[in-house]
Homo-oligomer: A and B are copies of this chain.
Amino acid sequence: MVKIALVIYRTSLISCLNLLFLCSIVSCDSEHKTTTLKHKSILFTAASLSTVQEQYSSVQLFQQSMDQAIKEVDAQIANGIEVPIPKDLAGGYTHERHKLNYLTMQRAGKLYRVTGEEKYAVYVHDMLREYAEMFPTLDRHPSEKSYSRGKLFWQCLNDANWLVYASQAYDCIYDRLNADEKAFLETNLFRPYANFLSIETPQFFNRIHNHSTWANAGVGMIGLVMNDTVLVKRALYGLEEDGLDTAAKDNDGGSIKEEGQERAGFLAQMDLLFSPDGFYAEGPYYQRYAIYPFMVFAASLQNARPDLKIFEHRDGILSKAVYALLNLTDSNGEFYPINDAQKGMSYYSRELVSAVDIIYHFGDQNPELLSIAEKQGRVLLDVTGFSVAEAISQGKTQAFVPKSMELKDGADGSEGGLAILRMNHTGGDLNAVFKYTAQGMGHGHYDKLSYSLFENGEEVLQDYGVSRFVNIEQKNGGGYLKENKTFAKQTVAHNTVVVNQTTNYGADIDVANKRHSDRFFFDASKKNIQIASAKDTGAYDGVRMQRTIALIADSSFAKPLLVDVFDIDSDEINTYDLPCYYFGQLLLANMVYETRATLAPMGDQFGYQHLWEVAKADKLPNQTKVTWMNNQQFYSWTASTDTSDEFLFGRIGANDPKFNLRADPMFMLRRKADHAVFASVLESHGSYSAVSELSEDAFSKVTGIDVIYQSDDYTAVQIRHEGGTLQLVLCRNDSAADQSHEITIESKKVSWTGAYDYQVM
């Protein structure tokens, strides 16, 4: 159509009439059948639908996404409709079938809307009718595992997913159905379904939680399609009366209703689940999951209820949430796996395709988003995806550059945060992720002041992530595994200090939910140092902790150094354990250690029961060094240690009767003290090729790290290396950027302004 339009651009009226005649023939015979929008749609406006219908085939990425959807949907149409009686858990047949059904329905609906091909509408209608016939016969799902059992699925969460997708499918065929057909579906399926998810399951609908976001979105979207203002209001503001108990918990130990919680519904989720920086309390893995209902319901509102200006709500919080997510990724686009996160989830997920397309179209049309959409290789089959694909075809793409940043946590930004430090080097990049957030509700881990490190998208020091195999039926039906509580959530499973072999807050979620770490300072403005410092006084009663993580670029080193200064203070003598979860093969450890002839667990609780003690050193040199090799590179960790310190080599996997844990290695520095400073430096260095068998820079260049100054107000460390010395002085009490400081270190005066001083000596 576009080509024809171009050809006849300067033609006479008669030619135009000819064209109209031509078009009417074309629209009958080609796949470009146009349909007019006859209701308030959640996916298009009348104008945008007509643009997409007319132009899509000339926009490559959109057409490509259509082709993919056509292939998948046609295969399902050929397969025939299957709407089985619900029975299985995640990974099982009925679960996976209903999931495939809603995904297919939504795609089929959009294909109909864009192409006008009848068969897609028929397929959606037929399937919805089968659901409408079955739904009134269903009781709750036979599995009793969930705190909010669903009907099609074992938990309402999946049922809400179904409704979010089915609403879109219904929206696409709505104009094509007669009044009786619509009444049949709405009476038997959609209204009771919406009531089931809300009025009948308030513990699911009225929380401030990603589960409820899905519920709100499903109920609101079907309400918009049916123009049911009651449902839409319920979705936006929650149930007026829910009768929920503040002592109730969900399956993950998360609260159903926090004390003092008054609000519910979609707007409350937008106001309370994100920090002002767009950080979502449960972390990026769940933020990715949660972002889909946020984005798709917001886009639905923007299409059907533009008066609400939803994308402007709370200073554009949805846009901030998407950018936070995009920045919470390593260089492969994979999310940093903090809290309950399955590794490998990335911005290639369908949720992020939606988020990028929607925030591009309804947001600021940032050309950097287009580079991510190009990598994703597909767009939504609606006006948002069309906008993105069209902009790409017009060459507007710019590279997305992830940034070093601090994301504050808490609804008002006062509950600690997360620092992302990034430095590029000639061979790639290093990212340190330093976590000093609040607990993150039911999916949070007890890992105050932990950090993990990534190089070129590979983990150097890992966060274990979740102990779960999502949708793998053999592993507890794809659900959370026991070891998630007994190991993965525990403090010792993370790269942070464990006090007296006890987990933060004694692993009490109620205490955890009320406390948080505190940011101290963050500075990523300089070329040669990026630094973040945070404190915690709540994780262990009577123990004051400050950790500072810095990436330092120095010309003596090919790659940045990671410097870690962990200051711990207590009035009592405690045991401080600092675990370090590396990957690969140990090459060198400079202390005298004894390997165990038989292995026993390191302890009997708080995660220690899952760590085999492989070797132990009872005393250490002043500088402890460990070098290992992974991914054809070398890593060396050098720490300032006391001779009375202990050092343990361990491996995950003890007390794991179902082989649920990964048998990854770790080491741990242990000190008994009241006040301790764990100062260490991690070097990534050199390379190895298994083909040329050449090794380069296999040895650490750091000769030592020393704590050269300690007081209540300051801690200073020096890193000695073959080519010189680096000095880092940290404030402990005053982080004001404009405050001047002066101290004397080894009879030399050091003065600076701000929270820290870094010098190449």
Contact = CB atoms under 8 A, between A and B. Distances in A.
Interface stretch (A297-305, A356-364, A472-480): A472-480
A162 to B, nearest CB: 16
- How many A residues are at the interface, by size bracket? 35 or more
Most buried by B among A475, A656, A659: A659
Interface stretch (A525-533, A638-646, A689-697): A689-697
Interface string A347-363: 01110000000000000
Contacts of A469: 585, 587, 629
B475 A346 contact: no
A343 interface: yes
B695 A344 contact: no
Interface string A663-696: 1010000000000000000000000101111110
Give the interface SS of chain A, mostly helix, strand, loop or mixed. loop
Contact of A472 (B614, B649, B688): B688
A690 B600 contact: no
A4 interface: no
Contacts of A588: 474
A587 B629 contact: no
Query: Can you tell how many copies of this chain the complex includes?
Result: 2
B614 A692 contact: no
Interface string A591-621: 0000101111100000000001011000000
Interface string A446-466: 000000000000000000000
Given A695-B91, A695-B471, A344 B690 contact: yes
B692 A659 contact: no
Contact of A663 (B629, B656, B663): B663
Interface string A362-386: 0000000000000000000000000
Contacts of A475: 587
B472 A587 contact: yes
Nearest to A649: B659
A122 interface: no
Contacts of A586: 659
A443 to B, nearest CB: 15
A130 B348 CA distance: 58
A471 B612 CA distance: 31
A615 to B, nearest CB: 8
A77 interface: no
Interface in A86-133: 91, 96
A469 B694 CA distance: 11
Interface in A695-722: 695, 698-699
A470 interface: yes
A655 interface: yes
Interface string A572-596: 0000000000000111110000010
A39 interface: no
A691 B474 contact: no
A82 to B, nearest CB: 16
A349 B587 contact: no
A395 interface: no
A265 interface: no
A586 B597 CA distance: 25
B655 A345 contact: no
A278 B212 CA distance: 68
Interface string A247-288: 000000000000000000000000000000000000000000
Given A651-B663, A656-B595, A693 B470 contact: yes
A663 B589 CA distance: 17
Given A349-B692, A691-B345, A629 B599 contact: no
Contacts of A474: 587-588, 627, 698-699
Contacts of A694: 96, 471
A653 interface: yes
A695 B100 CA distance: 12
A705 B349 CA distance: 40
Contacts of A585: 469, 659, 662
A243 interface: no
A478 B690 CA distance: 13
A615 B651 CA distance: 16
A629 B471 CA distance: 13
A677 B351 CA distance: 51
5 contacts: A345-B690, A349-B692, A469-B587, A472-B629, A599-B599
The 10 closest A-B pairs by CB, nearest first: A344-B690, A599-B599, A586-B659, A474-B587, A474-B588, A595-B657, A598-B600, A470-B693, A348-B691, A471-B695
